[in-house]
Amino acid sequence: MSKIFKDDLDNERIAELFISDEKCYEFLANLKWNKGFTCRKCGNTNYCAGKTPFSRRCTKCKSEESPTSGTIFHNCKFPISKAFYIAYNVCKGKEDVSTYEYARRLSLRQMTCWNFKVKIRNALNAMDSLSETEKSSIEKMLS
Ligand SMILES: [Zn+2]
């Protein structure tokens, strides 16, 4: 999860992600397949474009993988660019933003933002690489 925002992206790039769903999918696809595509089911490395934006379909077994699968953005019920905004701010933790504030900024329901924050917290908790300080600052933000 924090892998997604590991590299310090420049502000211009970040701003682009927050306004364009397509840029988010492209960003995740580049991250996911930066070493090339390998089908999760059969190991084939040839693919063609899938049905959803930036997804890839295995040419052998026809299984399709979306750039969001295996990430917290999978099955997200609101625009991925808004999810990126929340995830980025939570991960970077530069600003203590309440779910009410996210809801106001992104025109989402507070509950939606809260649920997504919980999802991020669970994902972050599942990571061993996180230091105790990072964990506690995330905990603090989510409470
Ligand atoms: Zn396959």
Three-class secondary structure of residue 94 per DSSP: coil
Q: Region 2-17: what's the mean pLDDT?
A: 72
Q: How far does the centroid of ligand 1 lie from the alpha carbon of residue 65, in Å?
A: 10
Do the Cβ atoms of 76 and 65 come closer than 8 Å?
no
Q: How far is the CA of 45 from the centre of ligand 1 (A)?
A: 8
Evaluate if residue 139 carries a pLDDT over 90: no
User: What's the CA-to-centroid distance between 57 and ligand 1, angstroms?
Assistant: 8
Q: pLDDT digit string (tens) for 82-97? A: 999 998 888 777 667 8
pLDDT in tens, 43-91: 999 999 999 899 999 999 999 999 998 888 988 999 999 999 998 888 7
